[in-house]
Amino acid sequence: MTGLTTNRQAVPVDALDLRLITATQSGLPLVPRPYHAIAEQIGLSVEEVMARLTRMLETGAIRRIGLVPNHYALGYRANGMSVWDVADDRVVELGEQIGSLVFVSHCYVRPRCLPLWPYNLFAMLHGKSREEVTAYAEEIRALLGEACGASDILYSRGILKKTGLRIT
Amino acid sequence: MAGVRRRPKHRKGSPPPATPVLDATPAGPVPLDEIERRIINGLQGGFPIRERPFLEAATTLGLGEDELIERIERLFKLGVLTRFGPLFNADRLGGINVLAAMALPESDFDRVAAFVNAQPEIAHNYRREHQFNLWFVGAAETPEKVESTFHYIESVSGYPVYRFPKEREFFVELKLHV
């Protein structure tokens, strides 16, 4: 249980990328030409700013550009981590399908931790009530079929800490 | 390289803080009109990298440029949005995140949870309803640093930290619909 394996693949970012990340990680300015404003702020041309952002988006260093809503303000009060014991030879194929369901925000394969923890597939579910989350879990259960044994839903009882990515 | 988080110089031997750091009582649901729902549903990704991105996004949404900017400002004021801009992927920037859990007795929960929160490498921490009742994410520049934080938490708290590093990540996209 001490191995730290992951599918991370670091992509090279240089000092100018870092300046760009630092200048934009808390958000874009809400002005008609936000990339011009950023360019001026960090002393690059707007072409350079847009080219670097485009490249980071292509390499996956940027996941997406857009708005990040507050779940709770949208009425998504039930936040459940659903966990599933899925046959190893099918977990990748089924994980792809579950990750693409509209109500799943994150989906991962993780190691089991036997005997306490038999689950290897994690899917985060967000709903307006626990009943809604339970119904989503039923859809996942149906999709997994016989490939899945035990499952559970761990509801959040509170956020104790949440900090975003901080590039230093 | 992009350090995602840095370790403070003195941490060994510092006693677990007595007061739990609990916060984040969320705002309730905010009433939204049709235009605001259209913006939230349509702009969770794909904001253009162009000279006038708001103009292009607004056209797609059937709005004017100024109107879109004003609406986004308003959604911030209402607390509906937490951010607008690029969402960076820590893994791809050379950092690492590892999910971990602990199974704590109620009597020790607040003390250990506060100690876990106090570690700068811990990015997220949630209480969940399960025998494994504390779930957190360790984030640092290297796997060794995350491991050393987990080990430190184990040695000070006396409870095991169960590691759940991701082996495979499927398409992660926020798709909140309103």
* Token reading at B145: 């640093």
What is the CATH classification number for the domain harbouring A36?
A: 1.10.10
Q: Is residue A80 part of a domain?
A: yes
Q: Is residue A65 part of a domain?
A: no
Three-state secondary structure call for residue B107: helix
**Which residues of chain B have a CB within 8 Å of the CB of A72?**
26-29
The answer to whether A71 faces chain B, any CB pair under 8 Å, is: yes
What's the confidence (pLDDT) of residue B173? 59
The answer to whether A115 faces chain B, any CB pair under 8 Å, is: no
Omega into B17 within 30° of 0, i.e. cis?
no
Q: What is the ipTM of this complex?
A: 0.74
Same domain (yes/no): A48, A94: no
- Please answer whether residues B54 and B63 qualify as being in contact, where contact means their C-beta atoms are separated by less than 8 angstroms: no
The residue of chain A with its CA nearest to that of B88 is A62
Q: What is the pLDDT of residues B159-177, one digit of tens each?
A: 999 999 999 998 665 566 7
B18 pLDDT band, cuts 50/70/90, is very low
Domain count, chain A: 2
Same domain (yes/no): A46, A86: no
Same domain (yes/no): A104, A144: yes
Residue A48: give the domain boundaries.
15-59
- Please answer whether residues B58 and B65 qualify as being in contact, where contact means their C-beta atoms are separated by less than 8 angstroms: yes
| Substitution target from A105, A161, A162 for chain B, most B beta carbons within 10 A | A161
- Residue that finishes a domain, picked among A6, A24, A59: A59
Q: Is the pLDDT of residue A12 over 50?
A: yes
What is the CATH classification number for the domain harbouring A148?
A: 3.30.70.920
| Substitution target from A4, A56, A67, A154 for chain B, most B beta carbons within 10 A | A67
Calpha distance A107→B169 (Å, rounded): 6
Nearest-by-Cβ selection for A62 from B73, B87, B132: B87
What's the confidence (pLDDT) of residue A66? 95
What's the confidence (pLDDT) of residue B6? 40
Same domain (yes/no): A33, A89: no
Q: Is residue A115 part of a domain?
A: yes
- Please answer whether residues A125 and A164 qualify as being in contact, where contact means their C-beta atoms are separated by less than 8 angstroms: no
Same domain (yes/no): A78, A101: yes
- Please answer whether residues B50 and B44 qualify as being in contact, where contact means their C-beta atoms are separated by less than 8 angstroms: no
Instruction: Assess if CATH 3.30.70.3460 describes domain B90-164.
Output: yes
Same domain (yes/no): A95, A34: no
**Which residues of chain B have a CB within 8 Å of the CB of A122?**
99, 164
- Least confident segment among A146-150, B65-69, B89-93, B106-110: B89-93
What's the confidence (pLDDT) of residue B88? 86
What's the confidence (pLDDT) of residue A78? 87
Q: Is the pLDDT of residue B29 over 60?
A: yes
Q: Provide the β-strand partners of residue A152.
A: A83
Q: Is residue A40 part of a domain?
A: yes
Helices B143-157 & B106-118 angle (0-180, nearest 10):
140
What's the confidence (pLDDT) of residue A163? 64
- Percentage above 70 pLDDT, chain B: 81
Strand segments, DSSP code E, in B55-172 are 81-88, 96-102, 122-128, 134-140, 162-164, 168-169
Judge: B89–A5 Cβ closer than 8 Å, yes or no.
no
**Which residues of chain A have a CB within 8 Å of the CB of B35?**
none
DSSP string, chain A: --------------HHHHHHHHHHTT---SSS-HHHHHHHHHT--HHHHHHHHHHHHHHTSEEEEEEEE-TGGGT--EEEEEEEEE-TTTHHHHHHHHHTSTTEEEEEE---BTTTB---EEEEEEESSHHHHHHHHHHHHHHHGGGEEEEEEEEEEEEEEE------
Locus of tokens 């002005």: A31
Same domain (yes/no): A140, A80: yes
What's the confidence (pLDDT) of residue B171? 66
Same domain (yes/no): A99, A55: no
Q: Is the pLDDT of residue B75 over 50?
A: yes
Mean pLDDT of chain A: 88
Same domain (yes/no): A118, A146: yes
Same domain (yes/no): A109, A140: yes
Q: Is residue A165 part of a domain?
A: no
Calpha distance B3→A136 (Å, rounded): 38
Q: What is the pLDDT of residues A38-71, one digit of tens each?
A: 999 999 999 999 999 999 999 888 989 999 888 7
What's the confidence (pLDDT) of residue B27? 52
- Across the range B55-82, mean pLDDT stands at 95
- Least confident segment among A38-42, B22-26, B123-127, B139-143: B22-26
Residue range(s) of every CATH 3.30.70.3460 domain in chain B = 90-164
Same domain (yes/no): A126, A53: no
Same domain (yes/no): A80, A47: no
- Across the range B151-164, mean pLDDT stands at 98
Mean pLDDT of chain B: 84
